Structure 1
Amino acid sequence: MLQNIRSVLIGMTEEGTDEPSSALGYGLSLARQAGAHATIQAASLKVVLGTAFISNMAAGIVADHNRRLRALAATFADRARGDAAALGVSCSVITPQLPYDELVDTFVTQARLHDLCVLDAESAAINTDRGLIEALLFESGRPVLVVPAGWDDFKHERVLIAWDASARAARAINDAMPILKSAAAVEVVSIGSEKELAGVVPGADIAPHLARHGVNVTVKDLVIHPDGIAGTLREQAVLYNADLLVMGAFNHSLVREWVLGGVTQSLLKASTVPLFMSY
């Protein structure tokens, strides 16, 4: 069923921080298993000085910095080509160097031309990767797969779905259907207070739909822990030995804000498994 995924965008932004990328190995592994084409966007941030009244020394420092980031991105691109060739994955590599806003716009435009986008999990609460994840979720119209450090191979034997009956959760399930249909086991979890869960299993409403698609699905309702919904999901992912968590991304405001909703934000900062998110 993974054959329904035909094109995967793998993204990274070179900021000179020397952080390893799990998204590359994970995304190439997914593309190999699906027989999909991988587009690798190894972008680098271009520092642009905001005034014409600058010293030659400052201009030279900025130019040297931009050249260094271009070289690092080129090195990553060469490695990516080699890794893809070793796996037998058809790939193309893009290495733009752009100011931040243009870089994000380029990623969003590319994502719309692919079935999904694979990115590394953020390394800080607010950084370039965080802004990129948010922009892709809100603006690309495509699901985003966020990969924590250490997940270098795509696995989907056991998949966990966070279900709250929202439009975003429904969209995430639909977007993830090729993965869900080929998984060995899928568990739908709904989280609430004991009062909210009394006498009803909220995930039972989506289970028949998944079963009709051939998904091997079970349902579980969980009482929310003191550390919140995100903590409850993290614990259940470990207990279920999940390879992937499918969820709808959301915020608590009617207007888009920089900070995503608390559950999404918390999981982006610290997730034990890759996150498949739609908005």
Structure 2
Amino acid sequence: MMKDILLTLKSHPEPTPRWAIESAVNIGRHLGAKVSGGMCIVGIPKVSNFLADRLVGANDAIAEENLKSRDNAQTLIDALQECAGADAGSDPMLIECGHIIDPRVLTEHARVFDLTIVPAYGHPETQSVVESLIFSSGRPVLLLPQEVGSQPFGSIVVAWDGSRGAARAVHDALPLLRSAAAVKVVSITGDKELPASASVDALLTHLANHGIKASAHAEEARREDAGSALVRFTHTSGGELLVMGAYGQSKLREFVLGGATRTILTSATVPVFLSH
């Protein structure tokens, strides 16, 4: 059961498009959950170089961009309230940021929501925000690269490899899986050797115990990584949502994403529900 959803909004350089707000509200109503907004307000600091300011008017340009960010923020707040109406959650969280979005504060807020939705519309900082939310919030994330209607996710694809991440994703997505008309569990072959725990039959039994009828499928990776194969299968099978575990590990103080996760975060063309 999901009761509260956090929708991440961006005010700069281009604001979150209205279709993303409308889609998030549709998802919230589908789940019986209220939708709250979380947004970084960009505040670019003034330049200290007098000559640069005098020659090109740097500080005037910076002030204009900061004003643009705040104006966009108010427009987004108004749009969320208009779309959600009585289904709006708590007051929007406005986080003062520097010249780039700092996802850490947003991630801390996400820990007290059942789900965080991140619209993907080409904003340059989407991947860093999604990574922080997935691996540090302790909550599932829905990456939303396209509009969804008032009856979203009637057909759902579940990526299954028997791993901890996949199990976590299935558990977190149960409210969506219960309401879907079709659930397809797919295992990708030819990418890596799957463990014995990757039994799809056992997962189908588990889902059936939750009142979810699912079908089993196998999809071969055709000289591609598992992420690309999953997106392809989701498209060809008519899936409207892909549910999968997210993988990553820290090496030499640099966070390294798993191959399938990296592919999904950089090139997803269907909505993706991710848990870690």
- Structure 1 segment 116-265 matched on structure 2, within 5 A: 116-121=115-120, 123=122, 127-151=124-148, 153=150, 155-193=152-190, 196=193, 202-251=199-248, 257-258=254-255, 260-265=257-262
After superposition, the Cα gap between the structure-2 partners of 1:251 and 1:122, relative to the gap in structure 1 and judged at 3 Å, is: farther
Matched residue, 1:278: 275
Provide the rounded CA distance (Å) in 2 between the counterparts of 1:152 and 1:131.
27
Amino acid at match of 2:264: L
- Deviation of residue 196 (structure 1)? 5.0
Is the CA contact 2:6–2:38 (under 8 Å) kept in the aligned structure 1? yes
Q: Structure 1: give runs of 5+ residues left out of the alignment.
A: none
Normalised TM-score (structure 2): 0.86
Q: Identify the range of structure 1 (201-210 vs 127-136) with the bigger mean alpha-carbon deviation.
A: 201-210
- Deviation of residue 20 (structure 1)? 2.4
SS of the counterpart of 2:61? Answer: helix
Question: What do the CA deviations read for 1:71-96 (whole angstroms, capped 9, x no partner)?
Answer: 111111111111112xx423332333
SS of the counterpart of 2:248? Answer: coil
Is the CA contact 1:146–1:276 (under 8 Å) kept in the aligned structure 2? yes
Kindly indicate whether residue 78 of structure 2 is the aligned counterpart of residue 97 of structure 1: no
Amino acid at match of 1:278: S
Provide the rounded CA distance (Å) in 2 between the counterparts of 1:100 and 1:261.
29
Provide the rounded CA distance (Å) in 2 between the counterparts of 1:9 and 1:194.
34
> RMSD of the TM alignment (CA)?
2.7
Matched residue, 2:113: 114
Is the CA contact 2:40–2:101 (under 8 Å) kept in the aligned structure 1? no
Normalised TM-score (structure 1): 0.85
Is the CA contact 2:101–2:125 (under 8 Å) kept in the aligned structure 1? no
Is the CA contact 1:158–1:185 (under 8 Å) kept in the aligned structure 2? yes
Question: What do the CA deviations read for 1:66-121 (whole angstroms, capped 9, x no partner)?
Answer: 11111111111111111112xx4233323333226774222112211110000112
SS of the counterpart of 2:260? Answer: helix
Matched residues, number: 270
Is the CA contact 1:185–1:216 (under 8 Å) kept in the aligned structure 2? yes
After superposition, the Cα gap between the structure-2 partners of 1:116 and 1:203, relative to the gap in structure 1 and judged at 3 Å, is: same
SS of the counterpart of 2:177? Answer: helix
Is the CA contact 1:201–1:221 (under 8 Å) kept in the aligned structure 2? no
**Identical residues among aligned pairs (%):** 29
Provide the rounded CA distance (Å) in 2 between the counterparts of 1:238 and 1:220.
14
Q: Structure 2: give runs of 5+ residues left out of the alignment.
A: none
Provide the rounded CA distance (Å) in 2 between the counterparts of 1:140 and 1:254.
20
Matched residue, 1:34: 31
